[in-house]
Amino acid sequence: MDNSKCKCGNDCSNEQINEQVNKCGTENSNNSFSSDAVNFSEFKFENGLIPAIVQDIDSKEVLMFAYMNEEALKLTLNTKIAHYWSRSRQSLWKKGETSGHVQNVKQIRYDCDADCLLLEVDQIGGACHNGYRSCFYRTVDGKIVGEKVFDENDVYSK
């Protein structure tokens, strides 16, 4: 698989993915949220982290689950590009930094207990590092139900 399916329906090679971001009209200049307007003490970070569910803004498909620390949340708010905390690497990561499959954040919500975030995004390419649009591409009995949108071997060096 040489091409990734962009949200707007265009095929784009991994080399063209950054150009595709602009072609799809995913500039975030009209988003008005920023870290200046957020009271971070309101959120319940457990061991410095808060869970984040990521959902497609239009289809409402759940794309992935990750954790954010305060710095990742601030970066996300200020850049409108999703940033997370990697528990395995113990470091910040910008979603799409390697693959080009970025998440343009359109809205961030939080639940009634203030202990979980919901990021509503325009997903460019796939959200899953295994090549699927969503990380939730299989059922508990092992059946593949998700759409593979890129070949992970073409994107990530193993």
Helix residue ranges, H only, 59-141: 70-79
135 annotated as belonging to a binding site for a ligand: yes
2 labelled binding-site residue: no
What are the backbone dihedrals phi and psi of residue 42, each rounded to the nearest 5 degrees, phi first? -70, -25
Known binding residue 141? Answer is no
The single-letter code of the amino acid at 111 is D
Residue 14's φ and ψ, nearest 5 degrees, are: -60, -30
Residue 24, marked binder: no
**Is 128 annotated for ligand binding?**
yes
d(CA 64, CA 52): 8
pTM of the full structure: 0.80
- Rounded Cα distance, 14 and 17, in Å: 5
36 is annotated as contributing to ligand binding: no
pLDDT tens string, the chain, 158 residues long: the values are 444 445 444 455 545 444 444 444 344 445 668 888 899 999 999 999 999 999 999 999 999 999 999 999 999 999 999 999 999 999 999 999 999 999 999 999 999 999 999 999 999 999 999 999 999 999 999 999 999 999 999 998 75
Structural domains for the chain? 3-155 (3.10.20.810)
**Residue 129: what pLDDT?**
95
